[in-house]
Structure 1
Amino acid sequence: MKVAFTSDNIAGASDSVFKAMMEAAQGDAMPYGNDDGTAQVAHRLSELFECDVDVFLVSTGTAANVLSISALTPPWGSVLCHSESHLLNDECTAPEFYTSGARFVGIGGADAKMDPTQLKKLVNQKIGDVHSCQPSVISLSQVTEVGSVYSLEEIRAITDVAKSVNLPVHMDGARFANALLALDCTPAEMTWKAGVDIVSFGATKNGVMAAEAIVIFKSSLEAKGISSEKVAKELGYRRKRGGHLHSKMRLLSSQMIAYLTDDLWRSNAAHANAMMTLLQDGLRRVPGVKINTPAQANMLFCTLPAGMAEYLLKEGFAFYGGRWEEGVIRLVTSFRTPQAGVEAFIVSAQAFAELSLSGTIA
């Protein structure tokens, strides 16, 4: 295989992350998050987001998302998200399981971004009607499922609707760093300053082995009349009940500390984004290739001319296709995607296009 663009999950972990885990494994430490390293993670994330936060470490993005939301909605509530969101389509029934049956409602909008007008209509429908589930939380994905990124203005348009009815806002930040660099803003600007109340701060896709952080912005929740203390307390119990209160939490904490040290999280995301920019720019020049939604971070959906996908697969490249419309493939770059591999992919795509134009390939 020359290079794989199937997912950023295929890359391993950064060397410094493994080194930090090895160091943390030495000696003894208090279990269940009562160690110094876990306290250090909370301190670092408070500094990163420029505010007072509560932090809950878990080992998967699914857990980070569904535990966050479960602490914010009752079983009779509804979670409003985009119809193409990961929560709605790619979490099996974990969201319903963890929320004890809350309904997830898909909202339309171009480029997998919620339309604020549609959202506003839904948050005001059948309020207090005992026959209907009640809007309880809004969740947005940053980066979205098609590789687009909400601008700060677009985030505020969503959170303004939420604020008008005092609904909490969750951000699925599985590719948080990739989105942040695309927007060239601060973590605070993309979250609580824009009206987000809780974020799943993703790290596993960007160089960590298995560590994600649920970050609660206390003052943001309190401003909506929601007790951050109550949410944090409930999250603590839900994390335990959900099997994510790790006894050797220091091994998760050590990963996150390494991730946040020397801007590893930024440099890893910068490389992934740069490789996607190179890939997208190259594919734009290949005859017959259609860019469906321009990639703003490290994920791209495009439509290839008939036969090109099969040709590229035979050439030794890997990517996902066949799940969407005919000819549509998904390409994802990671912090370890080699530039030479990206360039080789573009050359191969160009070679197929030239052979096709010449009639060599029917």
Structure 2
Amino acid sequence: MELNFRSDNESPAAPEIMQALSQANEGTAWSYAEDDWSRALDRAFSELFEATTTVIPISTGTAANSIALACLTEPWNLVFCHRGAHVFNDEGGAPEFFGHGLRLMPLDGDDGKLRAGTLVDAVNGSEGHGVHSYAAGALTLTQSTEAGTVYRPDEIAALCAAAGDQGLSVHVDGARFGNAIATLGCAPGACTVDAGVRMMSFGASKNGCLAAEALLIFGDGALRERAERLRKRSGHLLSKMRYVSAQLLAYIDNGLWLRLAAGANAQARRFAEAIAQHPQARSEYSVEANEVFVRWTPAGFSALETAGMQFLRWPGDENLARFVFSHATRAEETAALCEALASVAPA
């Protein structure tokens, strides 16, 4: 029997989401996000974030991230990000494509996080040649990070303050935002709109939804038309948007998104505990969400694969692998992984 810890993208949709889809499938509804479900999104998310929030439902995280960055910048702008960020490594140049020439500027930071001082130094270092240079335009952060760590509200606020001082707008890639908030236990606005974030890609597909994401605009919604026109022009305005919007409403209803994320986080912590007890394997980063990076030997990883465990060997580092736990990961699956880990003797 093979057990899949490769990615939460490979998990099934949650039963509650499938039920919402079934209900949305009854009868006819207006098309192109003019349906009742889509019209209800602004109010529902404004209540969730306790701030005026404009919602652009969309199908993919890549489109949400890219449209957001194109909204916040001009083609001659730099967008600062962490060197490990998904927008920099895994979106095939989509932000640059949507932004008609914007440039992503990767920065270093321990544990997958950026620091305010690093950002300020980078902005200052990018200036000096006037119209001959790219101009600093935006900062994009990932929450939870690509290392499976979580920004605290004060860390986000410090970065937003530094960005604001430099004239930058801030976007958050929240592909695993639910996992971050389940760990922090704070209100979702505390590390977004209250901290100074302007736009956010609110992920749902990794945590129980089916091709459903939300691009959020905090504040007066002045960027709405630009975001909607980019969504249409790029082919992401679905005629039957009700099926995306119905999922998003069900996802945040009664805290479902946090319950699903908390379950995934709990399984990740359980595996992290098993790693801590192993004589050789160790966690590469603090385990704060649903991803666990393990540093071990190629032989050890091969033994786990032989035992039926599927995970991602990290590109470019044969001694590093990533294990991801989803809302659908069962306790007995994690137990089997922990037992397999313990059974492999040190080389």
Sort the TM-score into its range (normalised by shorter chain).
Answer: over 0.9
Q: Which amino acid aligns with 2:331?
A: Q
Q: Is the 8 Å Cα contact of residues 303 and 328 (structure 1) preserved in structure 2?
A: yes
Which one is further off, 204-213 or 148-157? 148-157
Say which of 223, 228, 232 aligns to 2:224.
Answer: 232
Could you give the per-residue CA deviations for residues 70-117 of structure 1, whole angstroms, max 9, x where no partner exists?
111111111110111111001111111111111000011111111221
**Structure 2 match to 1:359:** none
Distance 2:128 2:267 in 1: 47
**Structure 1 match to 2:10:** 10
Say which of 262, 280, 286 aligns to 2:272.
Answer: 280
> How do 1:91-106 residues align onto structure 2 when only pairs under 5 Å count?
91-106=91-106
**Structure 2 match to 1:222:** none
**Structure 1 match to 2:53:** 53
TM-score normalized with structure 2 length: 0.97
Q: Does 1:244 align with 2:245?
A: no
Q: Is the 8 Å Cα contact of residues 128 and 134 (structure 1) preserved in structure 2?
A: no
**Structure 2 match to 1:312:** 304
Q: Is the 8 Å Cα contact of residues 141 and 173 (structure 2) preserved in structure 1?
A: yes
Q: Which amino acid aligns with 2:199?
A: I
Shift of 1:176: 0.5
Q: Which amino acid aligns with 1:250?
A: R
Distance 1:200 1:2 in 2: 33
Q: Which amino acid aligns with 1:30?
A: W
Q: Does 1:33 align with 2:36?
A: no
Q: Does 1:205 align with 2:206?
A: yes
Distance 1:304 1:344 in 2: 18
> How many residue pairs align between the two structures?
346
Distance 2:19 2:101 in 1: 41
Structure 1 counterpart SS, 2:131: coil
Q: Which amino acid aligns with 2:281?
A: V
> How do 1:64-103 residues align onto structure 2 when only pairs under 5 Å count?
64-103=64-103
**Structure 1 match to 2:255:** 263
Distance 2:314 2:115 in 1: 28
Overall identity of the aligned pairs, in %: 37
Q: Which amino acid aligns with 1:148?
A: T
TM-score normalized with structure 1 length: 0.93
**Structure 1 match to 2:315:** 323
Q: Does 1:300 align with 2:292?
A: yes
Shift of 1:344: 1.2
Which one is further off, 131-140 or 340-349? 340-349
Shift of 1:141: 0.3
Shift of 1:306: 4.3
Shift of 1:21: 1.2
Distance 2:316 2:274 in 1: 23
Which runs of no fewer than 5 residues in structure 2 stay unpaired? none
Shift of 1:305: 2.9
Structure 1 counterpart SS, 2:75: coil
Shift of 1:329: 0.4
Could you give the per-residue CA deviations for residues 235-258 of structure 1, whole angstroms, max 9, x where no partner exists?
111010111111111111111111
Which runs of no fewer than 5 residues in structure 1 stay unpaired? 220-227, 357-361
> How do 1:156-171 residues align onto structure 2 when only pairs under 5 Å count?
156-171=157-172
Distance 2:340 2:175 in 1: 31
Distance 1:7 1:50 in 2: 31
Q: Which amino acid aligns with 1:193?
A: D
**Structure 2 match to 1:135:** 136
Quick one: structure 1 residues 273 and 294, their matched pair in 2 at CA, closer, same or farther if it must change by over 3 Å? same
Could you give the per-residue CA deviations for residues 312-331 of structure 1, whole angstroms, max 9, x where no partner exists?
10111100005131221001
Any runs of at least 4 consecutive aligned residues in structure 1 with deviations exceeding 2 A, and if so which? Answer: 122-125
Structure 2 counterpart SS, 1:56: strand
